[in-house]
């Protein structure tokens, strides 16, 4: 497997690693193995600024993280590169116990380097299919727009999304920083995405205020990515809880990027206690050098959650997924069958 196994805290036979899981917030580019980045950089003769690619994966803020994310993206040039990326993400996901994942890709980072959309899409489609066949990790994709580029490029991507296979592309999201962005500009994107049958989610309440969550809720968002600062607006929190708008929380990512001071300071437990439909996710596993199994172990240890609570947190991810009801029932039946545990 990938992630340098020495950095993974959840042992290969730990119950939380073996638990079959669903993940709803993970970036395919944020799952690039350091070794793969090194090999692709050498192959394409791309300067990545470090001798050891593992040195890319050090940062203390979202801004520094996003710079590293851009560097990793720069080595992805051909359909074969995107294929390998998605395939290896499925292999690593399987090791984390992931059976079903709704996964982001971020075309804005590639288009700005002159990589045609079809190059990434063809590669991802092939890698997702082969990864599912070989490792049993079923992956569906969410196209994330680059929020700082604002509405125009986002709408252009939605036009491309219109023609893509809906069995594979299930939603539109938005990532990168929230700083300096009035999220109300994205309301037409949400409306048009819904018009063409796509679900919506956005990274909000991460490095920006609860007000950004409010603006996306007002625009009819289906799921909130991060939502770390939700409880700072009690009225909004009430609405999100009453309407059970899911949160895809990534506590260790937030701790690593200084969004919260420490894992113990993360509002995950408080949001859950308040009744939010909150799910647990790794965000960018290779970039943070832990995977979803590690995240489950860390959260269980930090908040003293017992195994049944972790099972319930995983079940919330089935509820919050964009599978239809019959697929959710199938997944629940599979997950309650202990023979599935490897
Ligand atoms: N892209 C990848 N990970 C991200 C994060 N945590 N926040 C914003 N954009 C991202
Ligand atoms: Zn993210």
Q: Which long-range contacts (CB under 8 A, 24 or more apart) does 331-337 make?
A: 331/22, 331/99, 331/100, 334/20, 334/99, 335/20, 335/99
- The pLDDT of residue 2 is 44
Residue 203 CB less than 6 A away from ligand 1 = yes
Q: For residue 175, which atom of ligand 1 is closest to its CA?
A: 9
Q: Is residue 206 flagged as an active site residue?
A: yes
Catalytic residue (choose from 192, 206, 295, 297):
206
The predicted structure's pLDDT at residue 337? 83
Distances (CA, A) of 30 to 16, 89, 107, 145, 297: 22, 9, 13, 15, 20
Q: How far apart are CA 7 and CA 169, in angstroms?
A: 32
Give the three-state DSSP class for 71: helix
Q: Are 185 and 147 in contact (CB under 8 A)?
A: no
Backbone angles phi, psi at 183, to 5 degrees: -70, -10
Confidence tier at 9 by pLDDT (50, 70, 90): confident
CA of 227 to the centre of ligand 2 (A): 11
Tens of pLDDT, residue by residue over 121-133, are 999 999 999 999 9
Report the C-alpha gap between 223 and 248 in whole angstroms.
7
As a whole number, mean pLDDT of residues 188-202 equals 98
What average pLDDT does range 16-24 have in this prediction? 98
Q: Report the nearest atom of ligand 1 relative to the CA of 226.
A: 6
Ligand 1 and 206: CB distance under 6 A: yes
| pTM listed for this prediction | 0.97
Mean pLDDT for all residues in the chain: 95
Measured between alpha carbons, how far is 236 from 213 in angstroms, rounded to an integer? 8
Does the pLDDT value for residue 63 go beyond 60? yes
**pLDDT at residue 15 above 90?**
yes
Looking at residue 139, its pLDDT comes to: 98
Burial (0-12, 13-18, 19+ Cβ within 10 Å), 262: exposed
Give the number of whichever ligand sits closest to the CA of residue 175: 1
Closest CA to 99 of 293, 299, 308: 293
Q: So what's the pLDDT on residue 8?
A: 67
Residue 12 has a pLDDT of 87
- What pLDDT, in 10s, does the model give residues 223-279? 999 999 999 999 999 999 999 999 999 999 999 999 999 999 999 999 999 999 999
Residue 174 beta carbon below 6 angstroms from any ligand 1 atom? no
The predicted model gives 32-53 an average pLDDT of: 94
Q: Which ligand is nearest to the CA of 176?
A: 1
Instruction: Please state the separation of Cα 48 from the chain's center in Å.
Output: 24
- Which residues share a beta bridge with 173? 144
Is residue 194 a contact partner of residue 214, using CB atoms and an 8 Å limit? no
Residue 264, pLDDT score: 97
Say what the pLDDT of residue 342 is: 41
The model's pLDDT over 68-121, given as tens digits with 9 standing for 90+, comes to 999 999 999 999 999 999 999 999 999 999 999 999 999 999 999 999 999 999
Cα 156 to the center of its chain, rounded Å: 22
Confidence of residue 198 (pLDDT cuts 50, 70, 90): very high
pLDDT score at 341: 46
Mean pLDDT of 163-174: 97
Length of the chain: 342
CA-to-CA dists, residue 275 to 239, 241, 246, 247, 299, angstroms: 11, 6, 11, 11, 17
> Is pLDDT of 7 > 90?
no
Which domains does the chain possess? 15-30+77-336 (3.20.20.140)
């Amino acid at each position: 497997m990938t992630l340098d196994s020495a950095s993974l805290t959840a042992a290969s036979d730990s119950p939380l690693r073996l638990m079959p899981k669903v993940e709803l917030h993970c970036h395919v580019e944020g799952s690039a193995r350091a070794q793969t980045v090194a090999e692709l950089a050498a192959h394409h003769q791309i300067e990545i600024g470090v001798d050891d690619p593992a040195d890319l994966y050090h940062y203390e803020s979202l801004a520094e993280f996003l710079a590293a994310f851009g560097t990793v993206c720069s080595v992805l040039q051909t359909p074969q590169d995107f294929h390998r990326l998605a395939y290896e993400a499925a292999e690593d996901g399987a090791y984390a116990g992931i059976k079903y994942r709704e996964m982001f890709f971020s075309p804005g980072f590639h288009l700005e380097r002159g990589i045609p959309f079809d190059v990434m899409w063809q590669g991802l489609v092939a890698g997702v299919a082969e990864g599912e066949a070989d490792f049993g990790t079923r992956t569906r994709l969410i196209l994330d727009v680059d929020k700082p580029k604002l509405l125009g490029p986002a709408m252009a991507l939605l036009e491309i999304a219109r023609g893509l296979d809906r069995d594979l592309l299930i939603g539109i999201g938005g990532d990168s920083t929230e700083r300096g962005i009035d999220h109300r500009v994205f309301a037409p994107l949400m409306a048009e995405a819904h018009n063409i049958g796509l679900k919506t989610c956005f990274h909000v309440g991460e490095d920006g205020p609860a007000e950004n969550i409010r603006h996306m809720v007002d625009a009819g968002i289906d799921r909130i990515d991060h939502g770390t600062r939700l409880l700072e607006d009690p009225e909004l929190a009430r609405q999100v809880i009453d309407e059970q708008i899911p949160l895809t929380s990534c506590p260790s990512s937030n701790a690593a990027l200084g969004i919260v001071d420490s894992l113990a300071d993360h509002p995950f437990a408080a949001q859950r206690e308040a009744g939010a439909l909150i799910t647990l996710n790794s965000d960018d596993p290779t970039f943070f050098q832990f995977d979803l199994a590690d995240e489950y172990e860390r959260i269980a240890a930090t908040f003293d959650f017992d195994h049944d609570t972790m099972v319930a947190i995983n079940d919330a991810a089935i509820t919050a997924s964009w599978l239809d009801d019959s697929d959710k029932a199938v997944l629940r039946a599979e997950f309650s069958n202990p023979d599935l545990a490897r």
